Amino acid sequence: MTRAEEIAGNLARVRARIAAAATAAGRAPDSVRLLAVSKKMPADDVRAAIAAGQRAFGENYAQELRDKSALLAADALPPEWHFIGPLQSNKVKYVAGKVALVHSIDSAALLDAFEARGAPQACLIQVNVAGEASKKGLPPAELPALLDRFASLNHVRCEGLMLIPPRGDARPHFAALRALRDREAARARPHVDLRELSMGMTDDLEVAVAEGATIVRVGTAIFGARPT
Ligand SMILES: Cc1ncc(COP(=O)(O)O)c(C=O)c1O
């Protein structure tokens, strides 16, 4: 089996998992988008996934995104890039205006750095639902103020929330993110439309879909274990 065949087979299995989970939850399979996490994987793996019908790819490192997107930009079907990793303000220039969606906004300073680039940018706010000191993400208590901030800015808009749960049972954290979204969506704000819930990875995508995920971010099940 070639690498391209392996990736195509893996993608088909992941799509089947998503469809089965959506159906079990009474949701339409196409209400969940698959983001293929290509972090640390070569450009040719992305090409193989595109040949198998995948469109959206997530990267965690700003310079890796810059380099990989340059390699693939001239292809007949270039990827739709998403940025899903932690980001320092001085690296925002590699990302702003170059990705369909930034999943990892977790502070007013980072949001302001995107605004300052002057390009339209769709964003999700990464929320630290469990309040873990070691994890990135905005404390839930600070969510209303950060959402309010979008109203006073011109280039950024907020399309939803993102979560990386702690180890262990992810379901209560997924449910908590959805509850936060539902609570905040009840309040209309300019430049804010909380339609996306980015949650669920290789090991827990079914649970995430059951709890309302609209984007699942899957790496290992598509590309295999990442090089360390
Ligand atoms: C933010 C984020 N989402 C999703 C993934 C994909 O995880 P998995 O390989 O378990 O599918 C990663 C992997 O590093 C990640 O950092």
pLDDT one-digit tens code per residue, 30-82: 999 999 999 999 999 999 999 999 999 999 999 999 999 999 999 999 999 99
171-179: average pLDDT: 97
What tokens does 64 get?
Answer: 């890796």
Q: What is the pTM of this model?
A: 0.97
CB 137 within 8 A of CB 164: yes
Q: Is the CB of 224 within 6 Å of ligand 1?
A: no
C-beta separation of 142 from 151 below 8 A: no
Cα of 52 from ligand 1 centre, angstroms? 20
Q: Does 193 have pLDDT greater than 80?
A: yes
Residue range 70-84, pLDDT digits in tens: 999 999 999 999 999
> How many percent of the chain have pLDDT more than 90?
95
Amino acid at 185: A
For residue 218, what pLDDT is reported?
98
Indicate the length of the chain as a whole number. 228
pLDDT tens by residue, 76-114? 999 999 999 999 999 999 999 999 999 999 999 999 999
Give the C-alpha distances (Å, rounded to integers) separating 227 from 17, 38, 40, 163, 220: 25, 11, 7, 24, 11
pLDDT at 130 over 90: no
User: Is the Cα dihedral 135, 141, 146, 151 positive or negative?
Assistant: positive
Report the DSSP pairing between strands 192-198 and 156-162: parallel
Q: Which residue lies with its CA nearest to atom 1 of ligand 1?
A: 84
| Ligand 1 contacts CB of residue 164 (under 6 A) | yes
* Nearest Cα to Cα of residue 38 among 215, 185, 219: 219
Give pLDDT, residue 160. Answer: 98
Sign of CA dihedral 22, 26, 30, 35: negative
The model's confidence at residue 136, banded by pLDDT at 50, 70 and 90, is: confident
Distance 219 CA to ligand 1 centre (A): 6
CA 190 to ligand 1 center in whole angstroms: 31
Percent of the chain with pLDDT over 70: 100
Res 133: pLDDT: 74
| Residue 179, H or E segment | helix 171-185
The Å distance, Cα 37 to ligand 1 centre, comes to 6
User: For all residues of the chain together, what is the average pLDDT?
Assistant: 96
Of 60, 173, 201, the one to substitute when testing ligand 1's pocket (max ligand atoms within 8 A of C-beta) is 201
pLDDT of 135 strictly over 80: no
**Burial class of 145 by CB neighbour count within 10 A (0 to 12, 13 to 18, 19+):** exposed
Cα-to-centroid distance, 189 and ligand 1 (Å): 30
Q: Which of 37, 57, 228 to mutate to test the pocket of ligand 1 (most atoms within 8 A of CB)?
A: 37
